[in-house]
Amino acid sequence: MSKAEWENNEEIKIFRKYLRIPTVHPNIDFTACVAFLKRQAADLGLPLDVIYPANEVNPVVILKWEGSQPELPSIILNSHMDVVPVYPEKWTHDPFSAYMDDEGRIFARGAQDTKEIGTQYLGAIRALKAKGFQPKRTVYVTFVPDEEVGGYHGMREFVNTDYFKNMNVAFSLDEGGPSLKESYWVFYAERTAWPLRFKIKGTSGHGSLLLPSTAGEKFNFIVNKMMEFRASQVKILKENPNLTTGDVTTVNLTQVSGGVQNNVVPAMLEVVFDLRIAVTQDAAVLEQQFRDWCEEAGGGIELVFERKDDFSPATKIDASNPFWTAFETTLHELNLKLSPIVCPGVTDSRYLRTKGVSAIGFSPMNKNTPLRIHDHDEHIRADVYLHGIEVYKKIIPAVTNI
């Protein structure tokens, strides 16, 4: 297709309208976004609900496509409305213009994460309804807020509502990520995020003295232990090329603070680590190890978890999970290769998995889409976007008619 043909394509038009709504952190006003989704629901002839599970500024929008057997457990097609901040001066085009170049690349914040799958779901449903298809299981298309800052005012609260309980959800599709290879990434699990701060107290005094039990000595001990643990995870990755970052526990020193001036031994030093715990790692054992190191360093160290997510079980990707079997079979029938991996970051799927929902992260973008999530010049090609609708046109019937 040419640029003119892409620009006149109705699905591309809808997608670009969605991209132009600046649901960007911080202090997002979702009013225009909700209005856009209400128009989409009306065009599709689907009922829509808007609920506020956490507060009055973070809506969850739910479109309902009722199944022929609504008593069966339902399906969720999830995406998030919010997007991360931008630095406009770093972009080739206005990040909220949805500019399309001659190659069909559509530039906008959210083009890969995750406004594209939200409207791809709707495009697939539009095509399926036009053919007279009705799913056996009820399908809910959910648009949630707040995912980019943890989902605390979005999916985390939504899954605890009576509304969600009454949905009787069995399976969910949510975001994946662009793959630089021919195959498509499929996320079946996520690591547990525990960013932690060590608040290290020690003897204070004049910088010319060799005081005992200083914060600096304890700081050095803790940092060395954490970096040794980090090196062990790097070693695991190097020794097994079949593993990805999501298969190990990652540790990264991200913040250091403390001290008043260069000739005063500080009474307190603080160091923060970004910690993402592998699904195979016993988190309780790891926490105890950290606490043991605090005592071995000399004591007087407070361990503060700045965030302590609950463990999220992995979704089964074998014959015991009929939803996975249907999903995998469909991709094979489309001659699409898939690479199941543990998500290197976190998505809202973790909250669904803790409720017993079988959740898969999948965004139909392969090697034609360079990884630009959270980066400048985020974009997706128009042909890749439209191909994604074709993929969902096959996946949705497969998983809903089990």
Per-residue pLDDT reduced to its tens digit, 256-293: 999 999 999 999 999 999 999 999 999 999 999 999 99
- Please check the confidence at residue 400 and state whether its pLDDT lies above 90: yes
Dist. CA 232–CA 108, nearest whole Å: 39
Q: Provide the b/e sequence for 283-296 (b: ≥16 CB within 10 Å).
A: beebbeebeebbee
The model's confidence at residue 178, banded by pLDDT at 50, 70 and 90, is confident
Q: What is the DSSP code string of 146-162?
A: -GGGTSTTTHHHHTTSH
Summarize the chain as % helix, strand, coil (round to 5). 35, 25, 40
Give CA angle at 271 (269, 275), nearest 5°.
160
CA distance to 10, 25, 108, 190, 291, per residue, from 379 (Å): 19, 19, 6, 25, 44
pLDDT at residue number 305: 96
Confidence of residue 5 (pLDDT cuts 50, 70, 90): very high
pLDDT band for position 86 (cuts 50, 70, 90): very high
Q: Under 8 Å CB-to-CB from 187, ≥6 apart: which residues?
A: 176, 177, 340, 341, 342, 343, 347, 349, 360, 361, 362
Residue whose pair of structure tokens reads 């309902």 in the numeric block: 64
- Measured CA to CA, the distance from residue 357 to residue 351 in angstroms comes to 9
With H, G, I as helix, E, B as strand and everything else as coil, classify residue 391.
helix
The answer to whether 260 and 266 have CB atoms below 8 angstroms apart is: yes
Query: Which residues, other chains included, contact 103 with Cβ-Cβ below 8 Å and sequence gap of 6+?
Result: 381
The string of DSSP letters for 372-385 reads -TTSTT-EEEHHHH
DSSP H or E stretch at residue 43: helix 31-44
- When mean pLDDT is compared across 85-94, 153-162, 337-346, 367-376, the lowest value belongs to 367-376
Q: Which fold has domain 195-305?
A: Alpha-Beta Plaits (3.30.70)
Q: Which pLDDT does position 367 carry in this prediction?
A: 65
Residue 144 has pLDDT above 90, yes or no: yes
pLDDT value at 22 more than 80: yes
Q: Is 181 exposed, middle or buried (0-12, 13-18, 19+ CB in 10 A)?
A: exposed
Under the banding of pLDDT at 50, 70 and 90, the label for residue 113 is very high
The overall average pLDDT reported for the chain is 96
CA distance 309 to 10: 41
* Mean pLDDT value of segment 286-314: 96
CA distance linking residue 306 with residue 274, whole number of Å: 10
Percentage of residues of the chain with pLDDT beyond 90: 94
Q: Domain ranges in the chain?
A: 3-191+311-400, 195-305
Q: Does the pTM exceed 0.85? A: yes
Please, are residues 394 and 21 in contact by the beta-carbon 8 Å criterion? no
pLDDT at position 181 is 77
Position 344 scores a pLDDT of 85
pLDDT confidence of 299, banded at 50, 70, 90?
very high
Q: Which residues are catalytic?
A: 82, 147
Residue-level pLDDT at 165:
98
Give the tokens for residue 280. Answer: 């195979």
**Among positive and negative, which fits the CA dihedral 379, 384, 386, 389?**
negative
CATH number of this structure's domain 3-191+311-400, picked from the four choices 3.40.50.12160, 1.20.140.10, 1.10.3470.10, 3.40.630.10: 3.40.630.10
3-class secondary structure per residue, 96-114: CCCEECCCCEEECCCCCCC
User: pLDDT of 199-252, one tens digit each?
Assistant: 999 999 999 999 999 999 999 999 999 999 999 999 999 999 999 999 999 999
Closest among 379, 395, 372, 383 to 180, alpha carbons compared: 372
Average pLDDT over residues 179-207: 93
- Reported residue count of the chain is 402
DSSP state of 246: G
Whether residue 368 is predicted with pLDDT greater than 70 in this model: the reply is: no
